[in-house]
Amino acid sequence: GGAGFRYGSHFFAQSLRRFASTLVVAEHEGGLVKPSSLSALAAAEAVSKENKISVLLGGSGRALHKAAEHAASSHPLVSEVLVADSDTFARPLAEPWADLLRSVQQKGGYSHVIASSTSFGKNLLPRAAALLDVSPVTDVTSITEERVFVRPIYAGNALCTVRYTGDDPCIMSIRSTSFSPTSDAMSETKVAPITQVDLSFLSEESLKSSWVNLTSQDTERPDLANARVVVTGGRGLKSAENFKLLEQLAEKLGAAVGATRAAVDAGFVPNDLQVGQTGKIVAPELYMAFGVSGAIQHLAGMRDSKVIVAVNKDADAPIFQAADYGLVADLFEASTLVVAEHEGG
């Protein structure tokens, strides 16, 4: 009797353990799941090829419903799309979102919860992990086993392999630059069901924070985190005026503009352009650095770029050790040159 029951429940736990089920917290924009969240889906697949993925989306209106449809056919392993349909979730407020995540986790009992290391994901996951009494694993760049991950430490100078030994769920943020989204290889016939999340858990506590406003610059240029080409300026640019030269170059190349912390601190550009340890992590096809010395905190944000081009008047600048192509020159002349060459084909 008793022994058999124990054996039975042990066996049951074992068989549950064999199948990963993952909740992917997704962000959306313009009715589409953001590319960084598609990378989170790719990470969920890396956890297990048999992973059962639920995608959680929040917001309201048509944009949410279009994004839910996109999510429903975004990856063959997606088995369900959960939508939290409320204005409360239209904004990236970590407090109500953490409550939402806790509630959805308590109902779904997922083995893993994954979000991308965006500002939103970085803000949300630690709060949700605290509410669920687990330790999050942050900035995962590679998944070797269901609970074994690689993440950079010391500003990317060393890679650390960690095994998660805590309780379910294993909550992790992933670097979207390390997981390529599966290119729309989705069979047209497979569309996951879309379910509304019960929002009765929302309390006054959840609504303590409120959204004031968003100030952003309208730009035609691609988003820094996803751009194929990034043109970055450092302190060597010397002024906000001179950054306009880079903007012109970026315009010609269809590139995003980035900056070092020194350039941000000097007030040349706003801090959302900062690349590095305390800024954005980018890995474009082409990264061009003008007047950037190549401090380790800057390299931490761009060293995974496919091709790195550096222009600096100091031949000993450390950026040249990371660069595939280096030009020891005055950057003002060099960027003018690049524009001219590009125009000439």
Binding range to ligand FAD, per CB under 6 A, among 35-43, 74-82, 128-136, 273-281 = 273-281
Nearer to ligand FAD, 136 or 276 (CB): 276
Q: How many residues bind ligand FAD (CB under 6 A)?
A: 27
Minimum CB distance to ligand FAD smaller for 218 or for 316: 316
When binding is defined by CB under 6 A, the residue of 282, 295, 310, 338 that contacts ligand FAD is: 295
158-163 vs 148-153, strand pairing mode: antiparallel
Among 108, 121, 152, 301, the residue binding ligand FAD under the rule CB under 6 A is 301
Angle ∠(311,313,315) on CA atoms, nearest 5: 90
Burial class (CB within 10 angstroms; exposed 0-12, middle 13-18, buried 19+) of 212:
exposed
Q: How open is the CA angle 145-140-115, to the nearest 5 degrees?
A: 105
Q: Is 109 left (phi over 0), alpha (psi -120 to 50) or beta?
A: left
Per CB under 6 A, 317 contacts ligand FAD: yes
Query: Quick check: 262 binds ligand FAD (CB under 6 A)?
Result: yes
> Strand order in 158-163's β-sheet?
142-145, 148-153, 158-163
CB of 153 to ligand FAD, least distance (A): 14
The residue at minimum Cβ distance from ligand FAD is 276
Instruction: Establish if 277 lies at the interface with ligand FAD (CB under 6 A).
Output: yes
Contact with ligand FAD (CB under 6 A) among 116, 173, 312, 335: 312
Instruction: Report the nearest approach of ligand FAD to the CB of residue 302 (Å).
Output: 9
CB of 259 to ligand FAD, least distance (A): 7
**CA–CA separation, 221 vs 269, rounded Å?**
15
* Residues in the chain, overall count: 345
Name which position in 54, 111, 138, 293 contacts ligand FAD (CB under 6 A). 293
Residue keyed to tokens 């590009």: 342
Residues that bind ligand FAD (CB under 6 A): 234-236, 260-263, 274-279, 291-293, 295, 297-298, 301, 311-314, 317, 330-331
